[in-house]
Amino acid sequence: MLRITNTLTGEKEDFQPIHAGEVKMYVCGPTVYGLTHIGNFRPVVFFNVVRNYLERKGYKVTYVSNFTDVDDKIINKAREQKVSASEISEKYTIEFIQDVESLGLRRPDSAPKVTEFIPQIIEFIAGLVKNGSAYVADNGEVFFSVRHFKDYGKLSKKKIDDLQVGARVDPNELKRDPLDFSLWKPQKAADEPAWESPWGMGRPGWHIECSAMAMQYCGETFDIHGGGMDLIHPHHENEIAQSEGLTGKPFVRYWMHNNLLTMESEKMSKSLGNIFLTRDFVKKYSAETLKFMLLSGHYRSPIDFSEKHIKDVDAALHRIYSARLKCETFPSEGLAPGGEGSTEENKLAAFSQDFPKLWQEAMDDDFNTAKASGYVFEYVRAVNAYLDRKKFKSNEKALELCQAFVSAMKDYSSVMNVLGENSETFLRDLRLRYLEANAITEEMVLEKIAQRREARQSRDFSRADAIRDELLEKGVEVRDAGDTSTWDIVITPKS
Ligand SMILES: [Zn+2]
């Protein structure tokens, strides 16, 4: 049974969709006025996995995520660059889609844009005005009357009177109550995008778009609404007020919120200037590094980005992909029949059996991707403990266990969107990246290894050891097997 922590109730609950076998989910999408940073991608990466996992459980999933393509930030950027607002929003919508594709993520089933949704939004607002939930100010601005909605604050657990104390009162405001928020904004300047409405030329406020679009694609009451924790108040609180204010029905069954990605313990934001653009990250590290890092913590816990964290993630990927490559290239010819019956073999065989059940149990427990990753590490340890022993000799059972590991990783990656790259390519790129960081090339490594071989042949072991240590300092480990030596990068030295 899948269990989900519901922000609305504050409890971990059994998941029961409204219609058997079907899940409708809506996740707040980006405001398209600039290139995305890696913090923006935490919900994108995580809710994609949620969608995959629901599909794995047999649900037919409808996944909707919007584009906010009308907003003050877009208008300001357009003014700065002396172009139209639509030029900005169209450009950054395309850039966002490119970032999603560079991470190998599936696009939503629907990705509506506010600008293509104006008639529905106007109709929504008109309904709220009609039933008294909203009112029109003298300048044509339409406000939602927060006090009219008695459940206001139920998602964020904020009391309306406490909010009142903190609210700024602007004497120029046309609001009846400082807590009221804008549903429709009158056009103030000719360069602001505007549409005709019963209240004059203007554009929708931010919150109303998500209510209108979610309801159109997912229904008046739907299963899952997701987004970052920073959206709980006011954005999602206001979505509930507008939607339930219109229909009188519960808007969403399960509200899911991902925690944020911090950078060296600080919030990542454009205004603080400590952002890491998604495309820069993918170029400098890899898409796998980003996705694996974002899934290495539980979605409700903060993740702190740091160079050390990146190294740990790369070291983990290196271990997993190396084990996979070893299994993929395990020789299949001339094998002794049966197995060896060793403890390591039995342990690995037992773990291969349990692995699919274990990671899916972790996912059933509120999408615990951190725990699921932990089982992958455990599996890799069992594979290495078995194959890397001196006593190990190839046999049919070993081939079967290697094949089982490869197909288990393939299955895992089909849900988690990680560990699905070609092993050889991934490891080669990773190796090159770390060699480069240590100012050494593959040719230099091979030359050093040749020199070391010569030293060993002339029984100059102190020189051979010195070369080995020199390479290790450059993050390269040499392993001897008989007369030959192999090498690999060491990302995090063993302590
Ligand atoms: Zn939204």
pLDDT at position 410 is 98
Distance 235 CA to ligand 1 centre (A): 7
Distance 155 CA to ligand 1 centre (A): 14
Phi first, then psi, for residue 294 (nearest 5°) are -70, -25
CB burial of 19-32 (b: ≥16 within 10 Å; e: otherwise) equals eeeebbbbbbbbbb
Distance 226 CA to ligand 1 centre (A): 9
pLDDT digit string (tens) for the chain, length 495 residues: 999 999 999 999 999 999 999 999 999 999 999 999 999 999 999 999 999 999 999 999 999 999 999 999 999 999 999 999 999 999 999 999 999 999 999 999 999 999 999 999 999 999 999 999 999 999 999 999 999 999 999 999 998 887 776 666 666 678 998 899 999 999 999 999 999 999 999 999 999 999 999 999 999 999 999 999 999 999 999 999 999 999 999 999 999 999 999 988 888 777 777 889 999 999 999 999 999 999 999 999 999 999 999 999 999 999 999 999 999 999 999 999 999 999 999 999 999 999 999 999 999 999 999 999 999 999 999 999 999 998 899 999 999 999 999 999 999 999 999 999 999 999 999 999 999 999 999 999 999 999 999 999 999 999 999 999 999 999 999 998 877 889 999 998 765
Q: Which residues contact 402 (CB under 8 A, 6 or more apart)?
A: 326, 327, 328, 330, 383, 387
Distance 257 CA to ligand 1 centre (A): 12
- This model's pTM is above 0.85: yes
pLDDT at position 482 is 79
Q: Could you give all domains of the chain from N- to C-terminal order, each with its CATH number?
A: 3-258 (3.40.50.620), 282-429 (1.10.730.10), 438-489 (no CATH)
Distance 65 CA to ligand 1 centre (A): 9
pLDDT at position 166 is 66
Q: Which residues are 489's β-sheet partners?
A: 476
Distance 364 CA to ligand 1 centre (A): 26
Distance 207 CA to ligand 1 centre (A): 6
Distance 32 CA to ligand 1 centre (A): 13
Joined together, the tokens standing for residue 6 give 């519901």
Distance 64 CA to ligand 1 centre (A): 11
Distance 278 CA to ligand 1 centre (A): 21
Distance 205 CA to ligand 1 centre (A): 11
Distance 57 CA to ligand 1 centre (A): 26
